Structure 1
Amino acid sequence: MPPKAGSSALLASRRLDDRGLLRQVSNVTDRPPSPRGRGAASNPANRFERISLERDADWDPEQDPAPRTQFLRDRSQSIITYNDSPDIPFRASLNPYRGCEHGCSYCYARTFHEFLGFSAGLDFETKIMVKEDAPRLLRQELASPKWKPQLLAMSGVTDCYQPVERRLQLTRQCLAVLAEFRNPVGIVTKNHLVTRDIDLLSELARHRAAEVSLSINSLDAELARKLEPRASSPTFRLAAVEALAQAGIPAGVLVAPVIPGLNDHEIAAVLKAAKEAGATWAGLQVLRLPLTVAPLFVDWLERNRPERKDKVLNRIRAMRGGRLNDSRFGERMRGEGIFAEQIHQMFHVARRKAGIPEDGPELSTAAFRRPAGAQLEFGLGTPEL
């Protein structure tokens, strides 16, 4: 059985010895090819570890085995996490998984994998922590008198509809609990699989307790495959918006992340397609590259869009005070300077032209209830990892 998340055994497996810090080698001209269907091509050093490794100069990268996805049990004793960030529109979130198979090259959540002793690179998309007790823990926490009914976001540091969800159905089981308690939920996803749960989402929507945002930042299928290799295609995400809207579930589109010099020219086209699909609101976020995500994204540009690399990075720096990231609240989500203002202006002009409001529905906790002694029957058994 794999060691527990955060356990000394797991962390020890990432350490070799205490003989010193090895230099991380970055050779632009001689790099291993990106593994098929992966956003990252390597495992850069964990910023919390004292040891990092470098590739032997004589090693042929084509001999590297294709990285296999592993699913590890996460034995967390709670499932709802809280934040007090002034630029995040929710205070409580629910993550049935940690790590994400979608493998988006730019994902800010990659840095959270380092707290588990893993790398923010391939580990993030191939070592997925599974919270198999998530439905039980959620029910326990919602039933507690300490729980104050409020919006629960799914999910802050993963995509709750990543491919493994089709088999494990932890997100569906959590939605069943939320429907029983009638607690409002807001979902952001890149996967058409969300339409599987239209029955539960419709039940919640009847009580103004559900909304879903599909994240779409490009209509270019080839670019999307490179940026977000295991997410649904833009066409299927728009189809999900349409299916949700037709079922009476509030559905919107999050144009995120907008990457200056790469996909910012598509903002108007994405919003037009979103309106045609039935989206009733739209939001926007510009790219942010915290900590170890920055070198991973630079590496992605060098592999996939080398001709755009300098333009993209120069514009990001122009929006981030000369750096690739700005962690200040407020600025981290929108950027500053002329390019940031142009992006937001393009968005607002295109949004108004398409006839899409910027704000989503106001969800309600009025219907929240704590069923007395209710026992939810999932009928799905324990997930097999």
Structure 2
Amino acid sequence: MRKFTVSSTLILLILAILSTTTFQVSALTPHEEIEALRKNIRYTEDIDTEIFNRLEAAVLKKYTDVEKEGWYMSVMVKLVGLGALDGSLENTLDPEGTVTKAMFIKMLVRAIYGPDGLNNITPTFDHWAARDVEKAILTNLLSRGEITVDNLSEPITRVEMAKIIVRAYRKLELHPLTAEECEHLIDKIGDYSTMNKVQKESALIAYGAGIISGYTNGNFGPYDLANRAQASAFIIRVLDKNERAKVEFPPVEPPREPMILKYDDPDRPMAIEGDTFIKPDGTSVVLKVGPSGVLGEGQGCATEIGRRDRGGIIQEGDLGTDEGVMGQPYLVCKKTGEGHYIREWHLIAESQGDEAFKKYGHTEEGTTYGPWLVYLHGSWSWTGPL
């Protein structure tokens, strides 16, 4: 009889503890559950299956206008988890609602940088999204004056979002696609011709990366207004490759092996790292990628001069026609004999300028650094090709 009494007491105690614990867990409101989960979420990778299921359950309880089967649930739930998306005072997420420029910038900035990313940001105007706009400017997602207090409340179009999204994609992606790599997709975008040059590039890359898909009729809809569900999808697809649409690309040929390239062979291929390049004076160099990330940097050779591309035999100043250098002039330094496309020269100038400042800071007038930098009038000046 004594054993039965002890066992009954223990059972009652355990039931009481379980009951209390269950009550405490169930006592969390959907809002409190979301806030609790957000504390452990910084990146989309933090949202595993368990966290997602809890977030989704809380979102479905809190917001009255979303459905579990909605195509937008995956992306909107993740954006809620990142603290980048909140509903209205009426407890709605409004997936079909129009997105303003202010809303989109806030969602994008907070999805990338988190709530703490706005610390120490001082806006230049008064608006609820002013700090988000300033953060976007400081991180080159926006150029200053592109979005102002005067147009923040205007709806944002799909192509306007594409331009900003592609900037974020280029910043975050290790090997971002180029417009040239996506040219085979032009025929798949029915309204491609209605866009200007900048819009076409943004649309191509966003489409090719699987971030912004076209409509079922094949159109991109550049001037259509985007809704909150679409904006959520575009932002999450920048951050989470698993959410991106599948886009077909032609098979990539394996890279060739390094070889000997002669300056007077017009049919030589474009140089790659490891090639041995024979210069006009008979000397040779094994081509390497330099500190600025440019092939042949500091090696005193112009590997493109005299090579045949789709535009003919390349001479100084000619525009490139190959992938990655399309439309860029090829410039040769007369002092060193080194040649690069203009974007490569920009990379070298920026990198060496940073190196010079780190080494010498503000120094004596006329101080030089390498063959192309000189300190003049209080700053480092580039004297090489540009």
TM-score (norm 2): 0.23
TM-score (norm 1): 0.23
Considering Cα pairs closer than 8 Å and 6+ residues apart, tell me whether 1 or 2 has the greater RCO.
Answer: 1
Which of the two has higher C-alpha Rg? 2
Larger proportion of helix? 2
